[in-house]
Structure 1
Amino acid sequence: MSKNLVRVVFIDADTGARIGRTELPLGQLPESFQPATTLELADATWAVERAEPPTAAQFAATGTLTLTLRRIESVPADDILYSLPTLCATLPAVAAAPAGADRLELHEDDWRQVELVSADLGDEVHAELRTVRRSFEEHARRDGQGRIHGFQGIHVRTRPVRPLSRPVSRNRLLNLLPPDVRDLGGIGFRGQRGIVPSSFAVAVGRVRLYGLADGDSVAVLAVKAEPDPAPQPAPQPGLVSGLERAMQEADLLLVDWCRVAVVGPGSVGDYLAAVGATGRE
């Protein structure tokens, strides 16, 4: 066999049986099967569960490669459900960061799901919320008790592109928060290394404030509330008063896109209590 060819054996992960064998040029095989890899074989799609040996350097030396595969069963489109009624259309790019750099790790689906928006963008907000509401009315799937267990359709939000129409000072925001605010570094996404450039994140109790800033000027300001396993009667007073003051000064509204809710400064404490972000960690 040519040294540029690799003998590849395919094994069914469910049965342990050999389902195929071929010889492939080394250049047609990936450097590694460590990332999730799929391939087409016998008119079906298979996921590579294990590669022996795992890297091109190793199977180039041996001339053999064994791939253990698990067949991916196709799911009818009508059976696919989304867990959320809406997502933000664009995610910020992630850049390399020093090893061990602090970051708030978000699931990609969480990006800008609860955010502060300038009040003068109310028309854009309510136009988007009307479409999110249709996800509940037309695409929600419910169990026998009427509880939603998924959405067959989802609204991908494109507006507002710039949620803060006027500059918001990050330093002023931090000065309004309680003194025990913790700096979490930047923002990262689960499953991706690195940090979003110009991002920031802080924590007050179980509430995370994060966003994007150009120097002291905040362009995106979002909220992630971590439910409290042992709820207290009310959120931290310093956090509530600080957020109220910041929202009043910059004329902001809190928008919870998935709950189809718009919250003014005077109701932010009730909102945090309602979503379970109460007490201290």
Structure 2
Amino acid sequence: MKQLLIFMRIISGLFSFFGCNNQKETKIIATDSSGNVQTINPNELLMTIPTIENTFPDFENKSDTNNLKILEDDWRQIEFVSKDQKHLIDQEIDSITYIFEHEMHQGKDYSTFKNLYVRRLITKPVSLTFEKVQLYLGDAKNKLAGININGNVGQVKNGFSISSQGFNYYGIKDENNVVSVLCFYIADTDVGSEISVDKISKFLKAENLYIVDWVHRQIADEKNVKDFFSY
């Protein structure tokens, strides 16, 4: 049986499939690199990541060149979560571990997954004022902007991004400036990384938070966050 690798656009292409109950009857229509339309059996797909988040943000029809740009597959993959939700974190990681143990496909020089786990348990990872987020993670020179997600028109509604000391953060806040989603994105540079990790450590301790990398099943608090950013 020929199997197909899905390297990007997992959320937009597969989200409805993994969220429905009649997976065996579902077919995916896609266009290959030659422009030919193909009907794909979902059982033949291989995914490059083991998990995605169930919720996806709304968008508004405007944008800015300074916005943080991320891939769909990266949405909420490394995020801050209240320690009060540790039992839910453990449940989600147990389900992701099942994918690693039972749904992994090992190729000659690559590893992929025959299925993925859709996280649904943590709908509101944090509840913080935007001022606190800026106070702990920003600095006098930090850049504030919005979020663009590859493959989607416009920017994330009520979204924000902060770039400080080479580290990028993004999230969603409401009209009262209360942040309910706060995530970490890639570091642009190693310059200032030690300062940024120290800031994150103080932030985790003060606000009773973990930082969680769902794809790699890593959890850190203020005591081991330096190891979290060194693996």
The TM-score by the shorter chain falls in which range? 0.7 to 0.9
Instruction: Compute the displacement of 1:104 (Å).
Output: 1.1
Corresponding position: 1:225 with 2:157: no
Among 66, 70, 80, the alignment partner of 1:102 is 66
CA distance in 1, matches of 2:32, 2:86: 48
Higher relative contact order (CA 8 A, sep 6+): 2
Gaps of 5+ in 2: 1-28
**Structure holding more helix per residue:** 2
What SS does structure 2 have at the residue aligned with 1:173?
helix
Match of 2:19 in 1: none
Tell me, yes or no, if the aligned pair for 1:86 and 1:132 is still in contact at 8 Å.
Answer: yes
What amino acid does structure 2 have at the position aligned with 1:152? K
Tell me, yes or no, if the aligned pair for 1:92 and 1:196 is still in contact at 8 Å.
Answer: yes
Match of 2:113 in 1: 151
What SS does structure 2 have at the residue aligned with 1:266?
coil
Task: Mark the structure with the bigger radius of gyration.
Answer: 1
- Superposition pairs of residues 64-213 of structure 1, within 5 angstroms: 70-97=35-62, 100-144=64-108, 148-164=110-126, 167-177=127-137, 179=139, 181-213=141-173
Match of 2:20 in 1: none
CA distance in 1, matches of 2:188, 2:66: 22
TM-score (norm 2): 0.77
Give the CA RMSD over aligned residues. 2.6
What SS does structure 1 have at the residue aligned with 2:156?
coil
Report percent identity of matched pairs: 22
What amino acid does structure 1 have at the position aligned with 2:74? D
Tell me, yes or no, if the aligned pair for 2:72 and 2:149 is still in contact at 8 Å.
Answer: yes
Match of 1:268 in 2: 225
CA distance in 2, matches of 1:176, 1:257: 23
Corresponding position: 1:250 with 2:207: yes
Q: Deviations over 1:213-254 (max 9, x none)?
A: 1233211111112475xx68xx62321121111111110001
Tell me, yes or no, if the aligned pair for 1:140 and 1:148 is still in contact at 8 Å.
Answer: no
CA distance in 2, matches of 1:102, 1:227: 14
Match of 2:177 in 1: 216
Gaps of 5+ in 1: 1-44, 50-68, 275-281
What amino acid does structure 1 have at the position aligned with 2:92? E
